[in-house]
Amino acid sequence: MDPFLNETRAITRRHFFGQCQVGVGAAALAAMLARDARAADPAKPQAIPAAIPGTVNPMLPRKSHFNGKAKSIIYLHMAGSPPQQELFDYKPKLIELNDKDCPPEFIKGERFAFIKGHPQLLGSPWKFAHHGKSGQHISELLPNIASCADDIAIIKSMYTDQFNHAPAQLFLYTGHTQFGHPSMGSWLTYGLGTQNQDLPGFVVLVSVKTPDAGKSAWGSGFLPSVFQGVQCRSAGEPVLYVNNPGGMDRDGRRRSLDAMRDLNTIQHEQFADPETLTRIAQYELAYRMQISVPDVMDISKEKKETLDDYGAVPGSGSFANNCVLARRLVERGVRYVQLFDWGWDIHGTNPGDDIMNALPNKCKATDKPIAALIKDLKQRGLLDQTIIVWSGEFGRTPMNEKRGGSKFLGRDHHPHAMSMWLAGGGIKGGVTHGSTDELGYFAAENKVHVHDIQATMLHLMGLDHKKLTFKFQGLDQRLTSVTRESEVVKGILA
């Protein structure tokens, strides 16, 4: 065997470029220096510092494009997508036309996930009332959230491009339907860093089960992996695989990390791979998290009255516990906290996914802790600097699904109209923005696309969605996509 051939085969593409006199690392460094030079020019717009920071911790707080109204985001995702007609979008015309055939002009050429044949309209069996000084129209299923009516801005004219769970969730959080793009929390920590270096900047809390899009909903995509979300648990070990293995104490762990850091530093000096820096940063964060995470995740330290307000029980993996944790995390400077609560896919195939049984159960489990979260942040002076967002990934049809002749009430997936609400930093409370047509089939007035709400959330955090970019595949990629013009939803801004 030719020894030269063996050596050639052992050289990976990364080694090849790293050993070139003018390699990819050198080109990337030149681009970074040029970008930093532009950022130093006061006549040019403020640029986000490089995500490949050399010896600088990539999670250190960074200057925003302009002064934002908020410092943190808590996103409450009802995975599966609640029916807006039962919660926030009251439609008396649907009640009047209940069980009548849907007008053909609405469904001509339409595709549905499960509806077959010509569907019948379904009026909501639940009552609505006006709440607060603002008179927000909210369902009887959400009495506690209704008590916060003057703090929330309800958007009734949201729409998306997707009607299946996984692509719709990806679209909501990454701005794209394909895997491999960074999630919203990753973009935020890339752009702003985080305030607490002993905790992840982006934390994920899941109740029941992982959403359909899987961990890509909090992945970092083509951004350095230091910006991906860290899933924490409210029951059991807070973060898997962070604790020391048997037989190793903290001093031993420190010595082993120092040795790995030195070896990784040598590798980075040789190959200039940014993921080597990410690896060093993640090892160091994991070491600090061994102390910080158990403390912040221990909700038994909360007052009994606080736990009762949320309906939280220490040691369980409930949504209520996760709401307490969300407040504790933003209180300690975590930039973005993502809650997923699974079980909102109300198709009406059986009592476990119908409007009369499953929906009120899900509302009961989440209504109280969400209202408690709003009030708790408010009384601690944190609501003004924290954005709370509530949504599913798409809406539900105005028609009864009746899959297989089911007698249970349910609604199919629907991209053309959905409701969501926001509260907190920079949000005008007590506002209803936009509307749907009289059947709730299409967003009609002041339509808001998914990319628009992404642009709005970045804006509230002090970031211009067109300037928060990362060069990938020859394009300045961004959360809101480079193929569509997006607008900040000014009607909900304070």
- At 443, list the tokens: 């967003």
Task: Assess whether 271 and 187 both reside in one domain.
Answer: yes
Q: Which of 449, 417, 446, 433 is nearest to 493 (CA)?
A: 433
Task: Assess whether 26 and 113 both reside in one domain.
Answer: no
Task: Assess whether 179 and 326 both reside in one domain.
Answer: yes
Q: How far apart are CA 352 and CA 312, in angstroms?
A: 23
Task: Assess whether 33 and 130 both reside in one domain.
Answer: no
Q: Give ∠ CA 237-241-246 in degrees, rounded to 5.
A: 95
Q: What is the pLDDT of residue 267?
A: 73
Task: Assess whether 31 and 80 both reside in one domain.
Answer: no
**What CA–CA distances, in Å, run from 303 to 46, 258, 383?**
44, 40, 20
Q: Is 259 contained in some domain?
A: yes
Q: Is 380 contained in some domain?
A: yes
Q: How far apart are CA 390 and CA 396, in angstroms?
A: 16
Q: What is the pLDDT of residue 232?
A: 83
Task: Assess whether 130 and 249 both reside in one domain.
Answer: yes
Q: Which of 118, 121, 122, 92 is nearest to 107 (CA)?
A: 118
Task: Assess whether 13 and 144 both reside in one domain.
Answer: no
Q: Is 283 contained in some domain?
A: yes
Task: Assess whether 34 and 79 both reside in one domain.
Answer: no
Q: Is 487 contained in some domain?
A: yes
The answer to whether 190 and 49 have CB atoms below 8 angstroms apart is no
- Sign for the pseudo-dihedral over CA of 318, 319, 324, 328: positive
Domain of 288 in residue numbering reads as: 72-492
Q: What is the pLDDT of residue 174?
A: 96
Residues 6+ apart with CB under 8 A from 309: 368, 372, 375, 376
CATH number, domain with residue 308: 3.40.720.10
Q: Is 47 contained in some domain?
A: no
Angle, helix 274-297 to helix 250-271, in steps of 10 degrees: 150
Q: Give ∠ CA 397-411-213 in degrees, rounded to 5.
A: 90
Q: What is the pLDDT of residue 92?
A: 97
Q: What is the pLDDT of residue 7?
A: 43
Q: What is the CA radius of gyration of the chain?
A: 24
Q: How far apart are CA 198 and CA 9, in angstroms?
A: 42
Q: What is the pLDDT of residue 53?
A: 41
Q: Which of 476, 490, 492 is nearest to 431 (CA)?
A: 492
**CB atoms < 10 A from the CB of 259, how many?**
10
**CB atoms < 10 A from the CB of 57, how many?**
15
Instruction: State whether residue 316 is helix, strand or coil.
Output: coil
Q: Is 52 contained in some domain?
A: no
Task: Assess whether 336 and 462 both reside in one domain.
Answer: yes
Pairing of strands 72-79, 386-391: parallel
Task: Assess whether 245 and 369 both reside in one domain.
Answer: yes
Domain count, the chain: 2
Instruction: State whether residue 73 is helix, strand or coil.
Output: strand
Q: Is 142 contained in some domain?
A: yes
> What are the pLDDT tens digits along the chain (494 aa)?
444 444 444 444 444 334 443 333 333 333 333 333 333 332 333 333 333 344 467 788 999 999 999 999 999 999 999 999 999 999 999 999 999 999 999 999 899 999 999 999 999 999 999 999 999 999 999 999 999 999 999 999 999 999 999 999 999 999 999 999 999 999 999 999 998 888 889 999 999 889 999 999 999 999 988 899 988 865 556 665 556 566 666 666 667 667 777 777 777 777 777 667 666 666 666 656 655 566 788 899 999 999 999 999 998 889 999 999 999 999 999 999 999 999 999 999 999 999 999 999 999 999 999 999 999 999 999 999 999 999 999 999 999 999 999 999 999 999 999 999 999 999 999 999 999 999 999 999 999 999 999 999 999 999 999 999 999 989 999 999 888 899 999 999 99
Q: Is 59 contained in some domain?
A: no
Q: Which of 410, 378, 384 is nearest to 80 (CA)?
A: 410
Task: Assess whether 30 and 140 both reside in one domain.
Answer: no
Task: Assess whether 343 and 457 both reside in one domain.
Answer: yes
